[in-house]
Amino acid sequence: MMRRALLGLEGVLNKIFGNDLNPFYHLGALGFYFFWVVVVSGAYIYAFYKTGIELSYPSVEYITLEQWYLGGIMRSLHRYASDALVLVMALHLLREFILGRYRGARWFAWFTGVPLIWLIFTAGINGYWMVWDKLAQYSTIATVEWFDWLPIFGEPMSRSFVTREVLNDRFFSLISFAHVTIPLFILFLLWVHIMRISKPVVNPRRGLAAGMLLGLLVLSLVEPALSQGPADMAVEPRNLNIDWFYLSIYPLLDIWTAGQVWALVIGLSVLLAVLPWLPSSFRQIQVPEVHLNDCSGCRLCVADCPYEAVVMRPRSDGMHFLEEAVVIPDRCVSCGICAGACPSSNPFRGEKDYVSGIEMPSMTMSDLRTRMNNDLERLEGDTRILLVGCDNAADVARLSSASVAVISLPCTAMLPPSFIEYVLHQHHVDGVMISGCRENDCYHRLGVLWSEQRLAAKREPRLRSRAERERIKLFWAASTDFRELESELESFRTSLAGNLKVMND
């Protein structure tokens, strides 16, 4: 239900923005982008910020009011880009959960994202303290009282630290240092977060980046970020405007006990951290196997793996090749893209049960060829079509008919281009239609892109020129796009029938 709702929403956004600029397809890259907007705007603000109990608030007011044409805009950009970072982070986490992309080998990216949540919230809350207005006073005292509940301090901090007499410039030096240091840890963890991902996208499309920046600028001009009056430790702050992106937990501290809030925060964090290992219906198929007799060490499988699960090692079988491919099971998602990249998967090979250099045990290339041949032999009619789909996209099995043979793979990119040439060259079918996840939203990240580039002869293994392109059609469709896929299949059938009639005439 949630998956259908998400795909339906993304389908609407595709119609509005197009696949290339759909923000839901670039949430991770937008997170990096907003982080850098925060860093750049924060660097400018920090150049004019003065550290001290009597200096912090006036310096922020100077930046905001006296330099409104730049400093004020930079402060607002800093605020709204920080909020946007939290928003895309939450959407990214929710989307990956709904799509089930957090189990198996994907646990690493999910697990390393949990401490990122803590650090980003810590940096944001710490940033509010630096303003030292009434909101900073409220959140500082509430935080200290919250931490006082933990049995790790000999004396309550709320009495000995945040008081009118004891609070001094050292406190502001500390939070200023923390606000500069924490982003460095965030940047390091962001690198760790994507370190097992091949060719990670850390920059959104230019049009999307420009649109987001324009939106932030407009928001900064229409609703500039302002302070809420200087802090006064002798007066309890009231009637505050809360930033619900970063400070949403503080109203809970007013109505719940500190222990209850700690239970919520820690419990939710632990739940997120262990989610990849909780019982579910998730079942990962077997990882690929390398057959050294047919592996030449060409590195194509390494280049195409979306998760760096295939690496090259020195040759171990004594053959004259320098390297051999090795699969790292803990990183493999069983997409089969590496099998589709192997040159020795060529179905034109004469052996009855030939072996490819790297194959999925659940469906070897020999098995795939046999299955295709058997399915194609039963086809009837004047326009026979092979429809290849993806297990994570539209259900192509529903389109099987007397004139349409259907094969669904873990990822469309598992199909080597030579198989398309094979079925066309041997006149088994009149046309081949390739489907899979929506463009820019491949379940296995790069399968759609690699398939397009292989068929366009821009990537190895490439579709050879003797394959007639007019007899091949690509149409990417999610599970909610079945009707569109069905319509495109009929359109393709009509087009093929017209071409055949012209050729016969």
> Residue 417, class by beta-carbon neighbours within 10 Å (0-12 exposed, 13-18 middle, 19+ buried)?
buried
Q: 30 with 208: CB under 8 angstroms?
A: yes
Average pLDDT over residues 307-325: 92
Residue with tokens 């920080």: 82
> Residue 280, class by beta-carbon neighbours within 10 Å (0-12 exposed, 13-18 middle, 19+ buried)?
exposed
Q: What is the crossing angle of helices 27-48 and 73-98, to 10°?
A: 160
pLDDT at 281: 74
Q: 348 with 424: CB under 8 angstroms?
A: no
* CA atoms within 13 A of residue 177's CA, in its CB half-sphere: 6
pLDDT at 153: 66
Q: How far apart are CA 408 and CA 494, in angstroms?
A: 23
pLDDT at 460: 94
Residue with tokens 């046999």: 370
Sequence-ordered list of residues with C-beta below 8 angstroms from that of 270, at least 6 positions apart, any chain: none
Q: How far apart are CA 413 and CA 19, in angstroms?
A: 20
Q: 359 with 407: CB under 8 angstroms?
A: no
Copy the structure tokens of residue 127: 């940033």
Copy the structure tokens of residue 42: 């924060």
Q: How far apart are CA 323 and CA 317, in angstroms?
A: 10
Query: Tell me: the pLDDT tens digits for 441-499?
Result: 999 999 999 999 999 999 999 999 888 899 999 999 999 999 999 999 999 999 998 77
Query: Tell me: the pLDDT tens digits for 417-457?
Result: 999 999 998 767 999 999 999 999 999 999 999 999 999 99
Query: Tell me: the pLDDT tens digits for 229-250?
Result: 999 888 888 889 999 999 999 9
**What is the bridge-based pairing of β-strands 358-359 and 289-290?**
antiparallel
- Cα–Cα distances in angstroms (integers) from residue 401 to residues 104, 339, 428, in the given order: 35, 28, 16
Q: How far apart are CA 476 and CA 450, in angstroms?
A: 13
pLDDT at 157: 63
pLDDT at 162: 56
SS3 for 399?
Answer: helix
Copy the structure tokens of residue 96: 């990956």
Q: What is the crossing angle of helices 107-131 and 73-98, to 10°?
A: 150
Backbone angles phi, psi at 476, to 5 degrees: -95, 130
Sequence-ordered list of residues with C-beta below 8 angstroms from that of 439, at least 6 positions apart, any chain: 19, 448, 476
Closest CA to 433 of 480, 487, 479: 487
Which domains does the chain show, CATH number per domain? 2-277 (1.20.810.10), 289-504 (no CATH)
Q: How far apart are CA 290 and CA 294, in angstroms?
A: 8
Q: 476 with 437: CB under 8 angstroms?
A: yes
Q: Is the pLDDT of residue 344 over 60?
A: yes
Copy the structure tokens of residue 379: 């086809």
Query: Tell me: the pLDDT tens digits for 186-209?
Result: 999 999 999 999 999 999 999 999
* CA atoms within 13 A of residue 161's CA, in its CB half-sphere: 19
